[in-house]
Structure 1
C-alpha cells in the first residue's frame, strides 16, 4: 500500500496530464493507496507563471518551433542555470508548497519536472519526508528532468536509463517502465470488430491520423496528400477538441473522396482511441511521448510528419532507429511513401512487431509495483555530493 499519494502534473502540453491520469487510474483500479489526488501544479501558481509554462509553450510550438528547438538544446546541459531556475520556481510555487504541507503525502509521482524539482529542494532542506518519483514523458530525458533528492526515475527506454546512469544516477534509482498510458490500451481488441463498430470497411487498409498537433491549414494539406493514394484505403482523422478543425474537414473531405476514392472520416474528441488504433493499420501524426506510447502498445507502424524540434524530434529518432516509423518531411511524397508500405506487407509486419516489442502497455502498473517495493524496503536517503555542483562536468552525483 502506497499510503497517501499525490500524482503531480503540469498543463504544459496534454501529455503530462494524460500520463498522470493513467497513473491515477491504475492506482484506483488496484486500490493501491489510502488516498490519491491528481494535481495540476500550475493551478497553484500565479497567472504570469502559469502563462509562461503553458500558453507560452503552446505559442512556441505553433508559431516558432525553431525557437523551441534552440531552447531545448540550449538548456539540455546538466546544471545549467540550475540555481536561478530553482529560485524562480520556488518564488512562484508557494501555494503548491502550502498544499503539500497540508496534504502530507507519503508518495509523490511527478509527470512533469516542475513539481519534481520543488519536492527535491524541500527534501534537501529536510522540510518534507516524501518518496519523490518522476515519470519522464518522452522517450529521451532532458536535463530539465534532473534533480538531486529523489527515490526513482521511471523512463521509457533502456537507452534512456543508460543516459541517466552515465550522469551518475545509481542503477537502483532508474526503472524502465515505459510511459504510463490508460490501462485500456493493454486490452486486446479484434481489428475487424473495431472497424465494424466504428463504421469502417472491414477489408480496407486503414490509416489513423492524429490531427490534434496540427493547425487547420496543415491538416487540410495532409488530407489532400493522402487523397493521392493509389491503393484502396480509408482514413480516420481524429481532431480532438478542435471543433473548428473537425467542422472544416467535414466540409472538404467529400471533395477529396470524389476525386480519389480514398474514404475519409473526420472525428472530434474521442475516448475510444484504443479502439481506433486497434482498427487501424498505420498511424500518421506527430510523435508526442504519450501518443507514441499508445501506438507502440497497439503495435502500430508510424509515419512521422514534421516533428517539433526538441523532444518530438528525439522521439522520432528513436522510432526510426527501432524500425517502427518512417518520416515524411515533404507532404507531396506522403501518398507515395504509404503506397510503398501497403505494397511491402513484410516491412509493415516487421514494423508492427518492432512496435509491440518496444511497447509497454502495463507501464502504470510497473510503476506502482516498483513504488510499493520502495515503500516496503526503503533505500538510504539520497545525498548530493560536492562533485554534483561542479559546473565544468556533465556528470552528476546522486
Structure 2
C-alpha cells in the first residue's frame, strides 16, 4: 500500500502530527511505502519564508490579530468564498503538488493541514485519476469521481475542525 502524509508548515503542530502518523503507520505496517510531504516544498523560496516566518511571527507577536483572523474565517460562507477565490488563481505550488500526487499514486492520503485537502478536492471535482487502486479498478459514472482519488483522511490538529478544512 502507498501512503502519502501531506502537511504544511504552520507552526509545529501539523508537522508533529504528520511525524507521529508516519511513525505509527511504519510500526503497524512496515512493508507499506510511506512518504511524508510538506507542501512548502513546492513553494518558491520567498513564498516559503513569508509563509512559515509570517505565521510564526503573527502568532507570537500579534496573537489577538491571529485570533480575530482565525475566528472570522471560521465561517462556512467565508471559507467557501476564500477557497473559490484561491481556485481562480491556480498557483505553481498547487500544480506541483498535484503532479507529485499523480506521480506517487498513493492509495491513502493523510492530511494534517487543510491545504492538501483543498487541492485534492479540486482534483476530485475535475475527475483527475490519481490512486494506484483507482488505476486497477475500472469505474464509470458518478462513482468514477470518488474512485479517481485515493482514500483521503483529514487529521484535525486543533481542538475542533476549522471551516477552511470543510470548505
**TM-score, normalisation: structure 1:** 0.35
Structure 1 residue runs without a partner (length 5+): 148-398
Query: Do residues 104 (structure 1) and 105 (structure 2) align?
Result: yes
Residue 17 (structure 2) pairs with residue 16 (structure 1):
no
Residue 159 of structure 2 corresponds to: 139
How far apart in 1 are the matches of 2:90 and 2:54?
16
Q: Which runs of 4+ in 1 moved over 4 A?
A: 88-91
Name the SS for the 2:99 alignment partner: helix
| In 2: Cα distance, 1:53 partner to 1:142 partner | 19
What SS class does the counterpart of residue 144 from structure 1 fall into? helix
Aligned residues: 145
Alignment match, 1:81: 82
Whether the aligned pair in 2 keeps the contact of 1:8 and 1:41 (CA below 8 Å) is yes
| Structure 1 residues 102 and 126, CA gap change in structure 2 (3 angstroms) | same
1:378-397 Cα deviation digits (max 9, x unpaired)? xxxxxxxxxxxxxxxxxxxx
2:116 and 2:108 map into 1 onto residues whose CA distance is 12
CA contact (8 A) 2:6 2:112 kept: yes
Q: 1:21 to 1:60 in 2, by over 3 A?
A: same
Check 1:87–1:42 CA distance in 2 against 1; reply closer, same or farther (3 A cut): farther
Q: Which runs of 5+ in 2 are unaligned?
A: 130-148
Give the 3 Å change call, closer, same or farther, for CA 56–89 of structure 1 in structure 2: farther
Q: 1 CA distance for matches of 2:119 and 2:16?
A: 21
TM-aligned CA distance change 1:136 to 1:33, over 3 Å: farther
Among residues 30, 35, 38, which one is paired with 1:37 in the alignment? Answer: 35
Tell me if the contact between 2:26 and 2:32 (Cα under 8 Å) persists in the aligned partners.
Answer: no
Of Structure 1 and Structure 2, the greater helix share is in 2
Q: Is the 8 A contact 1:8 1:109 kept in 2?
A: yes
Quote the offset at 1:109 in angstroms. 0.3
- Which residue pairs with 1:60 in the alignment? 58
The RMSD of aligned alpha carbons is 1.8
Q: How far off is 1:33 after superposition?
A: 5.7
Q: Which has the higher contact order (CA 8 A, sep 6+)?
A: 2
Structure of greater Rg = 1
Q: Distance in 1 between matches of 2:50 and 2:156?
A: 21
Superposed, 1:247-396 pairs within 5 Å as: none
Cα distance 1:77–1:90, how it changes in 2: closer, same or farther (>3 A)?
farther
1:50 is displaced (CA, Å) by 2.1
By how many angstroms is 1:52 displaced? 3.9
1:141 is paired with a residue of what secondary structure?
Answer: coil
- Structure 1 37/121 Cα, relative in aligned 2: closer, same or farther at 3 Å? same
